[in-house]
Amino acid sequence: MRRPSKVTRPSSGSSRPNRQLNSVVFPAPMSPTTRVMDAGASFIVADLSVMTEVRRVAAEFRAGHSRLDVLLNNAGAVTTSRQETPEGIEMTFALNHLNYFLLTQELLDLLKATPDSRVVNVSSEAHRSGRMRWDDLEFRKGYSGFQAYGQSKLANILFTRELSYRLAGTGVTANALHPGVVYTGFGQGGAGLAGRLVSLSYQIMRPFIKSEEQGAQTSIYLASSPEVAGVTGQYFDNERVARPTTTRQRRGCGPSARST
């Protein structure tokens, strides 16, 4: 499978992509909200924590294309205090997970129409500390930024497994991955003790943290390598299959998500 010749990335409303709010990999249409980055690449300005914006991104792409080779969902944020989107959804769950779910659903017909297409969901090893709070997914009680983040990244993996099960026989594969600890400034600048601890951790661990290029390698591998053609429902770390922690998270999940 060759790499897509064009790339479009939904991004925040600034003049350059916000690293916490990208990305989707697919051929790039031009529209009033599409900005050119370089030859063969562009991004659509959108707030991916807002579901109406996610639907708009998908609609803009569908309007200009009849195929989609690779959908790479990559979004992440940690908030030290509970916040809600303009639609009233808890911010971490909306941006880190519902965004993935809805954008994939909105583009599913194009994925099915494209031979050997792939869905790649960027999760995190932080999922191991997560627990699905099925009765309080939005942390209305006892909010913890790190617990909310862990839950959202665990939800990414459960969604990937269920998606792979439901897409069996369509030719579309779905896999999740851990990019590693990457020096992007992610999680820094937060308020309070938690924000200061994250910044301090980055400083201490800097010699051992991956560069942005290194952190992208597993995403690129799953999006383009012939080695994983036909592989689906898996979780990868450093370009290798790893075993995620999904035990006791099975409420409402299909057979693929129930396999641990």
Residues with a catalytic annotation lie at: 149
Which of 99, 44, 58, 104 has its CA nearest to residue 76?
A: 99
Q: Yes or no: say if 28 and 34 are a contact pair by the CB < 8 Å rule.
A: yes
Angle at 218 between CA 24 and CA 93, to 5 degrees: 50
Residues 6+ apart with CB under 8 A from 12: 18, 21, 45, 46, 47
C-alpha radius of gyration, the chain, whole number? 17
What's the length of the chain? Answer: 260
Distance of alpha carbon 236 from its chain centroid, rounded? 14
